[in-house]
Chain A
Amino acid sequence: MSFLTPLYLFGAALIALPIVLHLLRRDVAPSVPFTAVRLLRKSPVDRSRRHRLRDLLLLAARVIALLLLAGSFARPFVAGAPSTGRTTIVAIDRSFSMAVPARFERARALAREAIDGARGGPVGVIAFDDRADVVAAPGTPADARAALDTIAPGYGATRFAAALDKAAEILADAGRESRIVIVSDLQRSGFDEGGAVLPEGIDLQVRDAGAATTNLSVTNATIDRKQVVATIRNFGNVARTTDVHAVADGRMLTARRVTIPAGDAADVAFDTGSEAGRLTVGISDSDGYLADNERVAIAESRALPKILIVGGGPVQTAGFYFSRALQAEAEEGADFDVHTITGGAFTALTPAQVRDQSVIAILSTHGLDRRVGETLRAFLDAGGGLFIAAGQDMDPSVLSTLLGWQPPLAPRDARNAGVLAATDLRHPVLRPFDAVAANFGQVVFDRVWDIDAGSAWRVVARYTSGAPALAERIPDGAPRVTAGRVLLFTSDVDRRWNDFPLNPAFVPFSQEIVRYLGARPPAVSSYVVADAPPGVPARPGIVTAGNRAVAINVDPRESTVDRVTPAEFLTLVTRSSAAGAPRAVRLAQQTEGQQNYWRYGLLLMLATLVVEAFVGSR
């Protein structure tokens, strides 16, 4: 008999209470002054044996009730009973290296052997590569064998840590004597990321399904303007010759034959004649792993986010401070591609040219006509960002008409609005300022628009007069995922209504605004299978993720043929006693949870108290 919370057993010391009370009561009754004791003496005084027995029964009942209470709170359980046999988890490797002819069949046979050796205990099956999935929860061998037939090699890379973690998690829930059988080709790269830790007490067995092999792999493919380069690596022990063929934007390039020494790599370049967007490079290697014989790539976009400033005055002065603030260079160069045009020039842009912009900053409505409205709304619907700053060339009614705002924006002209104060420091525009947000307090705003925010605008910052300073437009109707953001700054950014452009906070303020509005750095366009974006099939190829194309390739680390022996495998797995202790606790908790002896203890205690009440009332 063991206890889950043995400290409660100290509560059993409370039995001293009824015992002491019993002893005190037996010998000492309270003294009661009385007069007719002479008459009382003649009455039979009750100290019969029957009542002494009753007192003893009461004492026993109270002591037993307290012992049962303490015992129940201590959560008793019988360790190791009842056991239904050893739980076995068979973890089978499904990385692309297992796709070598006959290798996976051998692995499946080894897994079946492991299932048969489960000696009647429950058997579960895990399929693993970069991640581990439970194919069959611990159950009957028949279910495990059936689940085994559904597993096939994929395109992932071997990560033994994932398999061991998942198996240990299942066994922690199973809570019995346990065993893990790893069936794999035992590539050494499976330990590259470390973390292969297993709690002590779990029997780990390894079945080698692999064999010495050779492999040629396309480990890299890049597009450099009119030239593409592929890196071919020979993982074998002898030099290999192979044909390398490439397809750029659907056009087959001239195949190249290359000989690669053992354990070495070679770069193969192809001239494409024009800038290529998509590339597929392949080799012929029927002896090695098939999945790494081909690699895809797309041209990396180096374009900076485009910011278009629409100003009403002469081109050389409109939005001068704002554009300079955005073009302030960091160490790696400017973050934005900024252009400034007049309203008339903006009207002449095609919708496609507008859509090409990340953020449009409208600092003047001068020269804008109705066509611009449709273009802007389409731009916003496509996720573009719009920045609007008040100013002497900004007509709020024109703006409302262009953007279809109902009710129209009707600001009051306000003077001496004070300084700017951040209202919502959690907003992404202001969050980076945090402790230095007080710098805004040095800027004096002589003239601003005092708008009625209502339910159409979310105010991010206000002037000390209370008028909104920076507000974000709340989308009309149901929020659309693709809806672009609109920010309104109610004073100008050209130093006519304030001296904000001279303040050190102006540059970061401007940059944070356009970043929030959608000017993101170029996105990564190349992934390995394990890191593919959500919603993308876990297989190599060029696919569309959201609104962009990405290249998915197999992990080149899986292409190695270097293997470990089963004995070496066991030494590479770290046994964790720290992880074992919680496991023992979990095991105890599960056993106790299955047995639930504490409930019987409490029921017995209640029964004892009923008996005590019955005897006490006699």
Chain B
Amino acid sequence: MPATTTSRDLRFLDPAVIAALGTMELKARTVVEGFLSGLHRSPYKGFSVEFAEYRQYLPGDDLSTLDWKVYARTDRHYVKKFEEETNLECHLLLDVSRSMSYRGGAALSKVEYGSVLAASLAYLMHRQRDATGLIEFDEKITGRLPASARPGHLHAILLALEKIAPGSRSSIERPLHQLADALGKRSLAVLISDLLDDPDRVVRGLKHLRFRGTDVIVFQVLDPHELNFPFKGASRFTDIESADEVTAEPSRVREGYLREISALTARYEKELRGAGIDFLMLDTSKPLDFALLAYLDARSRRK
């Protein structure tokens, strides 16, 4: 997917910048506004016209729809374009298992990155008048906010994301089976997880969700250290979930590890896409715009 934001806007999507911001609401707003700002000026008008509340003023537009705040900020004329409220239900499924608390070479841990992503999506959905819900899970569902489009619901989601604490070990399949029965048809589920679990069981759970008529987008969130394995010197690698230990010389095992992690990601991508599930692997050191675009893409196709 091509880049859609300028370098100036990317500054607001950079995880290092976001990590320094205060509340989750501020983070989400910064990400989404920055993203949309770039999107308006981007050549990809397809998304913009279909989705955005703003478009540039054209002669003949009703002046009451002009957004004077945007004009004050940018010295350009934009008109607000409100869409009909939909009855789409979006469920943000955030993995809060202990492996998600890992932070290697990035400014944010995986769960922090996932939280900002979830908050940004919630913000985006709220602007779109979609009903948005949040489900946190590790080996079981640990927190749930039902989908709603009420004005105060976004705040509740953001508050919940702000208070997320690391859970226990991962077992993605079980919560997914539970959700498959609970979520209604015509809903969209966005799974944010590192997917460091048994791929067979993960895929089985997701297929169950898809089988029940739920559209699914999967974001696999991985740390740069998990992707590149840059360690040096003999080390005792300790699993932060299971406490398993492997003593190894990184230079000797790097090649094999990278092969394994690539194979795992490739397998997810192949099997999930085969099941009609959108899959995107995210590097926690990279900006969030890919994820937002992936969501918009999926939503547009759904309409």
- A residues lining the B interface (CB < 8 Å): 25, 28-47, 51
Contact = CB atoms under 8 A, between A and B. Distances in A.
A37 B257 CA distance: 9
Given A35-B194, A39-B261, A46 B253 contact: yes
Contact of B248 (A25, A33, A35, A46): A46
A39 B236 contact: no
Contacts of A31: 235-236, 238, 245
18 contacts: A31-B235, A33-B240, A35-B194, A35-B240, A36-B196, A36-B260, A37-B238, A37-B242, A37-B246, A39-B257, A39-B261, A39-B264, A40-B237, A40-B260, A42-B256, A45-B253, A46-B248, A46-B249
Interface string B240-264: 1110111111001101110011001
Contacts of B234: 25, 29
Given A35-B102, A35-B196, A46 B252 contact: yes
Contacts of A44: 252-253, 256
A50 B265 CA distance: 34
Contacts of A32: 231, 235-238
B226 A35 contact: yes
Nearest to B263: A39
Interface residues of B, number: 32
Contacts of B226: 35-36
Which residue of B242, B248, B249, B256 has the most chain A CB atoms within 10 A of its CB atom? Answer: B248
A37 B244 contact: yes
B196 A38 contact: yes
Nearest to A27: B247
User: Chain B contact residues: over half helix, strand or loop, or mixed?
Assistant: mixed
A439 B256 CA distance: 98
A30 to B, nearest CB: 6
Nearest to B250: A32
Given A37-B237, A39-B260, A46-B253, 4 more contacts: A36-B196, A36-B257, A46-B252, A51-B249
B113 to A, nearest CB: 14
B248 A43 contact: yes
Contact of B233 (A30, A37, A43): A30
Interface in B204-256: 223, 225-226, 231, 233-242, 244-249, 252-253, 255-256
Contacts, number: 88
A40 B233 contact: no
Nearest to A31: B236
Nearest to B235: A32
Contacts of B252: 43-46
Interface string B183-210: 0000000000010100000000000000
A126 B210 CA distance: 116
B246 A40 contact: yes
B99 interface: yes
A35 B256 contact: no
Nearest to B244: A37
Contacts of B236: 28-32
A52 to B, nearest CB: 12
Contacts of A40: 237, 246, 248, 253, 257, 260
A30 B235 contact: yes
B198 to A, nearest CB: 9
Contact of A38 (B102, B231, B239): B239
A95 B175 CA distance: 121
B99 A29 contact: no
A25 B239 CA distance: 21
Contacts of B244: 37-38, 41
A25 B242 CA distance: 25
Contacts of B260: 36, 39-40, 42-43
Contacts of A47: 247
Most chain B CB atoms below 10 A, which of A43, A46, A51: A43
A275 B248 CA distance: 114
A38 B225 CA distance: 15
Contacts of A39: 257, 260-261, 264
A39 B229 CA distance: 12
Most-contacted residue by chain B among A25, A28, A40, A47 (CB, 10 A): A40
Report the 4 A-B pairs with minimum CB-CB distance, sorted nearest first. A43-B256, A46-B252, A37-B239, A43-B253
Contact of B257 (A28, A43, A51): A43
Nearest to A25: B234
B264 A33 contact: no
Determine which residue in B233, B237, B249, B253 has the highest number of CB atoms from chain A within 10 A of its CB, and name it.
B237
Nearest to A46: B252
Interface string B79-109: 0000000000000000000010010000000
A328 to B, nearest CB: 93
A46 B255 CA distance: 12
A32 B196 CA distance: 18
Contact of A37 (B223, B245, B256, B264): B245
Nearest to A37: B239
B245 to A, nearest CB: 7
A31 to B, nearest CB: 5
A264 B255 CA distance: 114
Contacts of B99: 35
Nearest to B110: A35
A25 B247 CA distance: 12
A32 B236 CA distance: 6
Contacts of A38: 196, 239, 244
A41 B240 contact: no
Contacts of B239: 34-35, 37-38
A46 B235 CA distance: 11
A38 B234 CA distance: 18
Nearest to A48: B252
Interface in B46-70: none
A38 B169 CA distance: 13
A30 B256 CA distance: 21
Contact of B247 (A36, A42, A45, A51): A45
A37 B231 CA distance: 13
B242 to A, nearest CB: 7
B119 to A, nearest CB: 23
Nearest to A33: B240
B43 to A, nearest CB: 38
Nearest to A34: B237
Contacts of A33: 102, 238, 240
A39 B253 CA distance: 10
A451 B231 CA distance: 86
Given A35-B196, A43-B257, A44-B256, A29 B246 contact: no
A30 B242 CA distance: 18
